Amino acid sequence: MPSTLPLEVQYCVFGFLAQELHTLCCCALVCRAWLRPSRYYLFQKIDLKTFAAFEKLARLTISDPEFRVYLQSTQELTLRSAIDPGVDSSSGKHTPPEGSAFSKARQWAHVAPHVFSSWLPNLMCIEYFCIDWTKIPLPPAFYICISRFASVTQLKLSGCRFPSFGQVQRIARALPGVSTLELHGVTWDRPDAIRVEHPYSNRPRLSSLSMR
């Protein structure tokens, strides 16, 4: 592919490789002309599986203005706990063990909105996967920061445990544009009364709800 090929044509060609992450990584190393379109598709979906991955991405986001340009293409952000033998990754069913896995995960799961809320302007979906929220006392700042994801329309909570249903509701209500809510394998310790909004409330109205 010659370097004189228009950039929009390059984006179109690389779009066919959007699901081929290894191929996109290889393309990014070929030449400078291929770097930008390759990274555009590489960063469309960010899946943070470890604290180390979160820490590295956070450091680059905060310190490197050129790197932040690529985050404008991010549409999906997944935050996972540390590897947990009590979680079936296929079904999302949650049986939280005692130990260090969750204590390590909880140190960053609730910090992500604070770090990334200003740098993901086109984010459409947030997923929290296998997080034990009973071990995370969420401060008011968490809800303030997550509310800055104005472009998010889909919230996924998979294999998560909450202290109460009220916290699930509060997280969903904090996102101003959410219209799709997916609760898969989610549990809570105590059943709070469901708070029903006034019909003329400006809070988000769900158009799709999936529970299993």
- pLDDT tens-digit readout, 70-83: 898 899 999 987 54
pLDDT of residue 98: 45
Strand 125-129 with 161-164, pairing: unpaired
Q: CA 9 to CA 186: how far, in whole Å?
A: 43
| 128 Cβ neighbours under 8 A, 6+ residues apart | 79, 109, 156, 157, 158, 160
Q: What is the pLDDT of residue 190?
A: 76
| Model pLDDT, residue 159 | 92
CA distances 63 to 36, 59, 115, 117, Å, are: 19, 6, 12, 15
pLDDT recorded at residue 42: 79
86-124 per-position pLDDT tens digit: 444 444 444 444 444 444 444 577 888 988 988 999 999
Backbone angles phi, psi at 110, to 5 degrees: -90, -5
* pLDDT score of 99: 43
Rounded-to-integer distance, Cα 131 and Cα 47, Å: 14
Q: Which residues of the chain have pLDDT under 50?
A: 1, 83-106
Task: Tell me how far apart the alpha carbons of residues 204 and 212 are, in angstroms, rounded to a whole number.
Answer: 22
> What does the pLDDT read at residue 101?
42
Q: What is the pLDDT of residue 104?
A: 47
Q: How far is CA 146 from its chain centroid?
A: 11
How confident is the model at residue 2, as a pLDDT? 52
